[in-house]
Structure 1
């Protein structure tokens, strides 16, 4: 049963779902759920790289996954920093972002590993 979850097709869809959830969370957080101040909607532009990566992630391009294995850590870091420094409704949103980014990171690594070609000698 566990090997079913490690298939590239499942992992690709799982990473895609994590990206879409991070996009939705980022936009909702900065525009509606807990904006810091008027004009803070500009912070929602932080999800633009995720939006631009969606086509390559959806196609399963290993190079995009390799790049995003590093870039997703920026969203993880922002979540940790804001979870420990913000107050009010931003804290659970930051925790959610941290968990989503960590889950996406693990799934990205699993996808790249599942697609890795064995070395030929």
Structure 2
């Protein structure tokens, strides 16, 4: 019988706040883009299928893992949200009539990126699955190579 380590180790209040930021921003971004492109955009220049595939589907992919508070899903969701950050910046530059829409998208994308990355990092540390610091890795490699170099020179 295996137990889920996430159920064993409780989250600190700081990690809970990062998770809340990630979750609220993620759902907010998904909701905002749905409202923007399906309700507020009167020009009907995009079909529903296009809006769903390009704007909504990428946000739906990590949603289950974000809801379940999985650090790994939060980490790769950061890559997905960069698309929305770039989209918001592009809209601000190229479509001045949608500047308010794009600023809302940017705020939600930045909130999602910050929440997801901080949650993944801190929860990973709590669970003991965090990557070691680069200085520690370099120190271990230095010790390893020094040890092996000593063995190589004494063998010759």
Classify the TM-score, shorter chain: 0.7 to 0.9
Give CA-to-partner distance per residue, 1:64-103, whole Å, 9 cap, x none. Answer: 1111122111110001001111132x22101110111012
**Once the 2 structures are TM-superposed, how far is the Cα of residue 40 of structure 1 from its aligned partner?**
4.2
Farther-moved stretch of structure 1 (30-39 vs 12-21): 30-39
Give CA-to-partner distance per residue, 1:41-79, whole Å, 9 cap, x none. Answer: 444311122123211001111111111122111110001
**Once the 2 structures are TM-superposed, how far is the Cα of residue 106 of structure 1 from its aligned partner?**
1.2
SS of residue matched to 1:108: helix
Give 5+ residue unaligned stretches, structure 1. Answer: none
Q: What is the TM-score normalised by the length of structure 1?
A: 0.81
Aligned to 1:72: 81
Q: 2:105 aligns with which of 74, 89, 97?
A: 97
**Once the 2 structures are TM-superposed, how far is the Cα of residue 22 of structure 1 from its aligned partner?**
0.5
RMSD: 2.4
The number of equivalent residue pairs is 116
Report if aligned partners of 1:13, 1:58 keep a CA contact under 8 Å in 2: no
Q: Distance in 1 between matches of 2:90 and 2:45?
A: 21
Q: What is the TM-score normalised by the length of structure 2?
A: 0.65
Give 5+ residue unaligned stretches, structure 2. Answer: 1-11, 133-139, 141-156
Q: Distance in 1 between matches of 2:32 and 2:49?
A: 14
Q: 1:107 aligns with which of 102, 110, 115?
A: 115
Rg comparison, structure with higher value: 2
State how 1:1-121 maps to structure 2 within 5 Å: 7-45=14-52, 46-88=55-97, 90-117=98-125, 119=132
Give the ranges of 4+ consecutive aligned residues of structure 1 lying more than 2 Å apart after TM superposition. Answer: 34-44, 116-119
Q: Distance in 2 between matches of 1:78 and 1:36?
A: 19
Report if aligned partners of 1:35, 1:41 keep a CA contact under 8 Å in 2: no
